[in-house]
Structure 1
Amino acid sequence: MTPSATQRPRASLAYPAALLALFALFWLALAIRPWYRQDWLLENVVVFAAVPLFAFTARRLRFSDLAYTLLFVFLCAHEVGAHFTYAQVPYDEAFRRLSGQSLDALLGLRRNHYDRLVHFLFGLLLLPLAAELFRAEAPPRSALWRFLLPVLFIESLSAIFELIEWLAATVFGGDLGQAYLGTQGDVWDAQWDMLLALAGATLTQCLRFLAARRAPAAAV
């Protein structure tokens, strides 16, 4: 019997399952001898909560392969920061071994900027997932709200995470609190982190809307 035209085949979960398996291997590799075990545990609280949530709800709300891929990339970048602690990720040493030059010196950087990169990636990579979430659960009625709501959602998550960092630093204090907070002496660190998340989300949303204008059938 031919299925009705209104029926849509359920998307396979093989691809997100494969990404989950790859992430599990990556996570296990970086779980071995992290530089600061207690900070690693704190950094992974969000992973322990988010990954099972996405896994258990995948059948009810199956995101696109692109959204899952970008989520995978972001989580891998986060795990690198958790392994080394964000303020001590040795990207400059790695670049120096490859090129013989200091990346920080070339860019005029005075602190370790890996945390800033990941906050930017948070907005850049997770915006499509937020847009798909709104489209599935609370579809906006106008193009303006289709543009704004995912961006504002990402920014609100960034602000909530900054509050969590502040609370954790207050509760734990000492070296652990400082390692988790990762301000590196910058009193505007939280504001920079939220600004970069907003910039990443806005950039991706602009690219999505430009792509949709070139291909009007594409959903945003």
Structure 2
Amino acid sequence: MTESRPRTPATPRFTLVLLGLFAVAWVALAIAPKYRDDWALENVLVLVAVPVLAWGWRTLPLTRLSYACLFLFGLLHEIGAHYTYAEVPYDAFFQQHLGFSLDAALGLQRNSFDRLVHFLYGVLVTPACIELLDRVAPPRGAWRWVMPVSFVMSHSLLFELFEWLAASVFGGDLGQAYLGTQGDVWDAHQDMLMATLGSILAVAALGLRGWLAPRT
């Protein structure tokens, strides 16, 4: 059995630096977003999640790894909110600075920034999910591997339902921009699959490093 590795909570300085950097990025990407209404809608969950994490730092502090992963995911989300996920110009960046089309090289038929972020959601949120489960409802045996993935799958599903509800309420161009399906009828299913695959990868990597071994 893989030995448990110690998890040291992040220091106040580390978390404050990340919070400050995120605040700077948030303000910068809030300037002249492509669609202001979509940007505002995308940031509803951010305005809930950041205060919850700040409050949780005292009651349920996470490790440096978990906070760093959440910080990186937050930055990616803000980039998506600035341009809308369906119009992030990553391929134009590759063509301008590296001289080739990433989409053409990978055979992609659509803007795939949202697919990448859903995959990275699974990768980057899983460490925090593992820590949370260990604190409030420690799983045993094989469930230590299954529960974090199931947890990510559950709120990936909830997010897709939230997207559907918001798009239904607001409708029109705003609803379409927020959904970002790009004409793909299986968009929600594929997004959830990408988050699941990302979480499986993260659990496998962290398990090999001892994160899933029973706490002593």
Bucket of the pairwise TM-score, normalised by the shorter protein: over 0.9
Q: How does 1:15-164 map to 2 (within 5 A)?
A: 15-140=14-139, 142-164=140-162
Q: In the alignment, what sits opposite 2:189? A: 191
TM-score (norm 2): 0.93
Give the Cα–Cα distance (whole angstroms) in 2 for the partners of residues 38 and 217 of structure 1: 45
- Structure showing greater Rg: 1
Closer/same/farther in 2, CA of residues 10 and 152 from structure 1, 3 Å limit: closer
Mark the runs of 5 or more structure 1 residues left unpaired by the alignment.
1-8
Would you say how many aligned residue pairs link Structure 1 and Structure 2? 209
Question: What whole-Å deviation, never above 9, does each CA across 1:127-170 have from its counterpart, x for those lacking one?
Answer: 00000001111111x22111111111111000000001111111
1:217 shift after superposition: 7.5
- Deviating beyond 2 angstroms after TM superposition, the runs of 4 or more aligned structure 1 residues are 9-12, 216-220
1:12 shift after superposition: 2.9
Q: Which amino acid aligns with 1:203?
A: L
Residue 168 (structure 2) pairs with residue 170 (structure 1): yes
1:219 shift after superposition: 5.3
Closer/same/farther in 2, CA of residues 217 and 40 from structure 1, 3 Å limit: closer
Q: Secondary structure at the match of 2:57?
A: coil
Q: In the alignment, what sits opposite 1:5? A: none
Q: In the alignment, what sits opposite 2:204? A: 206
1:218 shift after superposition: 8.5
Give the Cα–Cα distance (whole angstroms) in 2 for the partners of residues 10 and 97 of structure 1: 42
* 1:212 and 1:219 in contact (8 A); partners too: no
Question: What whole-Å deviation, never above 9, does each CA across 1:1-55 have from its counterpart, x for those lacking one?
Answer: xxxxxxxx98631111110000000000000000000000010011000000000
Mark the runs of 5 or more structure 2 residues left unpaired by the alignment.
1-7
Identity %: 54
1:174 shift after superposition: 0.5
TM-score (norm 1): 0.91
* 1:183 and 1:189 in contact (8 A); partners too: yes
* 2:10 and 2:63 in contact (8 A); partners too: no
* 1:87 and 1:182 in contact (8 A); partners too: yes
